[in-house]
Amino acid sequence: MSGPSQPKVVDEEWSDERVQGFLALLPRDETDPDYHVLRQAYEYMLARDYARFVAYFAEAGRNINALSPEGETMLDRVAEHARGAEYAQILRDAGGKKAAEL
């Protein structure tokens, strides 16, 4: 038998505590902690939850334009993805810029 042992959960409601919990994640390397949490949240959250996360992120005074080790912002990364338009707009609305704009 192959495949996941748990059924896929679709349209799950995330609590505020779960969304805010991503703010405490720490990178395992020299990645900027602000970039790290933005990326982790992007990889795990639906756009509606990511929008909530970015609001908490901004309230906490975190850097929406933190750079990855490769010198890209989260907006640079999201803009590369075919389905990243909604996430990109969330970042732009929060002051996100591409690295070339900094």
Q: What is the pLDDT of residues 22-49, one digit of tens each?
A: 999 999 999 999 999 999 999 999 999 9
Token pair recorded at residue 67:
């750079």
How does pLDDT run across 60-69, given as a tens digit for each residue?
999 999 999 9
In this structure, how many other beta carbons lie within 10 angstroms of the beta carbon of residue 46?
A: 13
Domain boundaries, the chain: 34-101
Q: What is the DSSP letter of 31?
A: S
For residue 3, CA distances in Å to 13, 30, 44, 76, 97 come to 24, 34, 19, 33, 39
CA distance 68 to 36: 8
Residue with structure tokens 């990855």? Answer: 68
